A and B are shown apart, each in its own frame.
Chain A
């Protein structure tokens, strides 16, 4: 268990770093996806297969592809390899990031009673429970998100349609 965890975490950290550092956008995206897959592996270790599946389905299958589409629209896929990123104040940046991370994690860390109890028996990770939760206490939130996404979808369709229409009008 601990070996698998270490391997997956190493892959996740390294690929995340590479995703930030690589100058080639497509490579960066590919390493980002490797990170997503490693994360899905970690979810599986936590007995959350559904979350892992959704992680791959949404992030690798949809978000990643979307990023690739966006990259295809850019002029220059490969940045100038020789030119280095200006690293002034890298330390300050690192410190700031660590501070933010700690602030976010601190309440959780403080609340946790150490040593940890085995979680698997206390929570019900089944899809049924997740579905029931989404449908009963969080119905309104779900519906609002669905409405928002539908609106976004329709907006995208409207944006995509208009040029063709104007072209047809030109023809006629």
Chain B
């Protein structure tokens, strides 16, 4: 990563004529109410203004990549659930996509539709909860969060019905999905999707015009467009900075080219834009879901031959637009049943690298909401 174009991390402490204040160093975390897991920020404060911030992580390191290299390809599938434990469906899909690309497997039509439906449902519940958590960081004592959790329950019920698990779904397989949808699932899903816009309306009326949210989020934690590109930020954070980059449009992986949806873009790149982009993306996801549910065909959902296999020596990088950004799996095969190299490109981790740049010169209270607006899951950051 070239460092020349990144905005310099400089912040002048006002020192008056000969008046100096001591810098207060606080280690926020790993046990802190709003670090979204076991994450630590070593913050230096001048008064309440952040002058230095060092993210410290690795508390949740589980050796994910090395374990995957000693396991068969299929054996790693349940492990991917544990990366971003909010979005196991999209994790599964990204991994399956990488393996399919390497082994040249085809996915049946119905399975592609199911994958899109699952991924967009995941996006809905992830974004809804994120907005809830963000308002929680703003100090709203959990009310919007619990509204979001209520909707998330409906979606998790659907996941449980289809895959048997609410969060660790382990549902995708190479060349399809594990099992077909149970009867009645699509009707229930349609109902959930049809009810969702009502929740969105309620949520937006309650939140977007709130004077306190406006004044606390706008022009706070600005991520400039250039910095966002240079730091390879992806996902809603990148689009909030005004960069039109959505892998569903760029790669057109799966069957995303068949659906009509738009990519909302922010202009300032502050917390408010990141917050609003997620709300707008939820509306687009609902649109995709409605189209997918209307046109899903009958047919097989997986390729029964693709269970344990030895791909030819090759390498592949499969990536999808996860709810948090570009989630990629890089695999190198040496012809054995286990991958020779297995690497994850975790969006949470890479989006976190610009935390200091966004927080410098802001108040300590802003650092918390900037962290909240990036949307990280420590399972994915630490792997």
Residues of A within 8 A of B (CB): 73, 75, 163, 167, 170
Measured in the bound complex, the distance between the Cα atoms of B22 and A167 in whole Å is 19
Smallest CB separation, A116 vs chain B (Å): 53
- B21:A167 contact, CB within 8 angstroms: no
By the criterion CB–CB under 8 Å, are A75 and B14 in contact? no
The reply to whether B14 and A163 contact each other, CB–CB distance below 8 Å, is yes
Q: Does B184 contact A (CB under 8 A)?
A: no
In the assembled complex, the CB of B327 is this many whole angstroms from the nearest CB of chain A, namely 37
B182 interface residue per 8 A CB criterion? no
B16 touches A163 (CB 8 A): yes
Hey, which chain B residues are within 8 Å of A75, CB to CB? 22
Our pick among B12, B14, B21 for the contact of A73 (Cβ within 8 Å) is B21
CA distance in complex: A170, B16 (Å): 14
- In the bound complex, what is the Cα–Cα distance between A170 and B21 (angstroms)? 20
A68 to chain B, nearest CB (A): 16
Bound complex: CA of A65 vs CA of B22, how far in Å? Answer: 20
**Roughly how many angstroms separate A163 CA and B46 CA in the complex, as a whole number?**
14
Which 6 A-B pairs rank lowest in CB-CB distance, beginning with the nearest?
A: A163-B14, A163-B16, A167-B14, A75-B22, A73-B21, A170-B12
7 contacts between A and B (CB under 8 A): A73-B21, A75-B22, A163-B14, A163-B16, A167-B12, A167-B14, A170-B12
Interface residue SS majority, chain A: helix
Q: Point out the residues of chain A lying under 8 angstroms from B21, CB to CB.
A: 73
List the A residue with the shortest CB-CB distance to B16: A163
Q: Nearest residue in B to A167 (C-beta to C-beta)? A: B14
0/1 interface trace, chain B 266-293, chain A, CB 8 Å (1 if under): 0000000000000000000000000000
Distance in angstroms between the alpha carbons of A163 and B13 in the assembled complex: 11
Q: Mark B1-34, 1 if CB is under 8 A from A, else 0.
A: 0000000000010101000011000000000000
A73, closest chain B residue (CB): B21
Shortest Cβ distance from residue B75 to the other chain A in the assembled complex, whole angstroms = 55
Residues on A with C-beta less than 8 A from B12 are 167, 170
Q: How far is the CB of B305 from chain A (nearest CB, A)?
A: 63
CA distance A170 to B12 in the complex (A): 10
Q: Which of B304-346 contact A (CB under 8 A)?
A: none
Kindly provide the distance from the CB of A88 to the nearest chain B CB, expressed in whole angstroms: 33
Complex Cα spacing A163 to B14, Å: 7
Nearest chain A residue, comparing its CB with the CB of B17: A163
Which residue of A has the minimal Cβ distance to B20? A75
| Residue of chain B at shortest CB distance from A170 | B12
Cα A73 to Cα B12 with chains together (Å)? 19
- Give bound CA distance, A167 to B49, whole Å: 14
Report chain B residues within 8 Å CB of A163: 14, 16
